[in-house]
Amino acid sequence: MKSVIRDISLAKSGKQKINWVRKNMPLLRSLEEEFSKTKPFDGIRITVSVHLEAKTAYLAKLLAIGGGEVSVTGSNPLSTQDDVAAALVEDGLDVYAWYNATEKEFKEHLNLALGCKPNIIIDDGGDLVHLLHTERTELLPHVMGGCEETTTGVIRLKAMEKEGVLKFPMVAVNNAYCKYLFDNRYGTGQSVWDGINRTTNLIVAGKNVVVVGYGWCGKGIALRAKGLGASVIVCEVDPIKAAEAVMDGFKVMTMEDAAKIGDLFITVTGCTRVIHRDHFKLMKDGAILCNAGHFDVEVSVKELEEMAVRKEEQRKNIMGYMLEDGRWINILAEGRLVNLAAGDGHPAEIMDMSFALQALSAEYVLKNYSNLGKKVLDVPEEIDRRVALMKLKSWGVTIDELTEEQKKYLDSWC
């Protein structure tokens, strides 16, 4: 089917963006050289549903260079960049996405992207997997397996595996060391603040910043907030992570207590209603809220809408809600992923590692799917280590190797 995008005339701008990230993604360039020769995906249909901006576009192009028949869609209505979508179409890929899609349009785009009857899927958040197991079950016989990019998607996949309903193998790319130690921590840490700062144009130093959730993404956000001069407060439900936050030098308290003193709130839990009606009642006038989790469920914008007596756009991507007592509470990017809905997402060098994992894991699934079972799998250690070594090589860094004597010594303890 013909691609569904906003405006093909935007392609030139999109190509500039893709060319820029390509220059800064040496791992994917290396795989591009390899895949152009080996053609690992020759004759294979691949559907990609990842935030559709320049880095994702380069991944899609890499899979196509490897012989794949690639269909691309977004994984969030506000993260698709129309010029990047146009550039991919002009380069011969099938794309079904546009910026600010309605809920109905977004779902339609997902379905259109699945229309190629994919053998491999690259998912971000689990929407493709969900559709394949509910409304598009006729496509299941074609699917060999796939890869999942983010924490929320892995949580959904593991729930399906536990229930015994998962119909094909999925590699949890998010759980690879080279993903969460770098993408989740350094990528999210930087890109969230990129999105917040370019949207608000306000200082961070001296403010009380509340980070809700202290997983790897939360750690990165808190670390960058501290570096920007904020007083950081962490809210957690896991006592181990809470203890870690204390030892990292942050204040830890309940959301109820944090709501009273926070200036800027960032949710990054993967859970629902972590900031809700009761918290809004306690917040300062002018409090700013945003979300860095995959779905727009962490800040209950719906409850804030119900409480508000007035709603007014304060600035692009900032919606203000005035409560009965005259206090204003501001929501960035509709409570969607602030680093992508109000920014360009993670830095290119970070996504270089994550997308190298995606490409190599997709190749692994293709070669081994018949023996993998219908379950959630870790990225093989050899792929994780390969990506790390590729990254070190791109930096010009070499490391030591164990001698045979050292290997025997360590083996004697195993």
Q: Has 183 been labeled as part of a binding site?
A: yes
Q: Has 216 been labeled as part of a binding site?
A: yes
Q: Has 99 been labeled as part of a binding site?
A: no
121 and 46 in contact (C-beta within 8 Å)? yes
Q: Has 339 been labeled as part of a binding site?
A: yes
Q: Has 305 been labeled as part of a binding site?
A: no
Q: Has 179 been labeled as part of a binding site?
A: yes
Q: Has 215 been labeled as part of a binding site?
A: yes
Q: Has 254 been labeled as part of a binding site?
A: no
Q: Has 341 been labeled as part of a binding site?
A: no
Q: Has 145 been labeled as part of a binding site?
A: no
Q: Has 293 been labeled as part of a binding site?
A: yes
Q: Has 214 been labeled as part of a binding site?
A: yes
Q: Has 227 been labeled as part of a binding site?
A: no
CA 90, chain centre distance (Å): 26
Q: Has 398 been labeled as part of a binding site?
A: no
Kindly give the interhelix angle for 54-65 and 11-23, rounded to the nearest 10 degrees.
80
Q: Amino acid identity of 98?
A: W
Q: Has 105 been labeled as part of a binding site?
A: no
Q: Has 359 been labeled as part of a binding site?
A: no
Q: Has 276 been labeled as part of a binding site?
A: no
Q: Has 278 been labeled as part of a binding site?
A: no
CA 409, chain centre distance (Å): 41
Please give the span between the terminal C-alpha atoms of the chain, in angstroms, as a whole number: 56
CA–CA separation, 301 and 289 (whole Å) = 10
Q: Has 82 been labeled as part of a binding site?
A: no
- Mind spelling out the 3-state secondary structure of the chain? CCCECCCHHHHHHHHHHHHHHHHCCHHHHHHHHHHHHHCCCCCCEEEEECCCCHHHHHHHHHHHHCCCEEEEECCCCCCCCHHHHHHHHHCCCEEECCCCCCHHHHHHHHHHHHHHCCCEEEECCCHHHHHHHHCCHHHHHHCCEEEECCHHHHHHHHHHHHHCCCCCCEEEHHHCHHHHHHHHHHHHHHHHHHHHHHHHCCCCCCCEEEEECCCHHHHHHHHHHHHCCCEEEEECCCHHHHHHHHHCCCEECCHHHHHHHCCEEEECCCCCCCECHHHHCCCCCCEEEEECCCCCCCECHHHHHHHCCEEEEEECCEEEEECCCCCEEEEEHHHCEHHHHCCCCCCHHHHHHHHHHHHHHHHHHHHHHHHCCCCEEECCHHHHHHHHHHHHHHHCCCCCCCCHHHHHHHHCCC
Apex 413 CA angle, 408 and 414, nearest 5: 95
Q: Amino acid identity of 167?
A: K
Q: Has 298 been labeled as part of a binding site?
A: no
Binding site residue list for substrate: 124, 149, 179, 183
- Residue ranges of the binding site for NAD(+): 150-152, 184, 213-220, 236, 292-294, 339, 346
Annotated binding site: 124, 149-152, 179, 183-184, 213-220, 236, 292-294, 339, 346
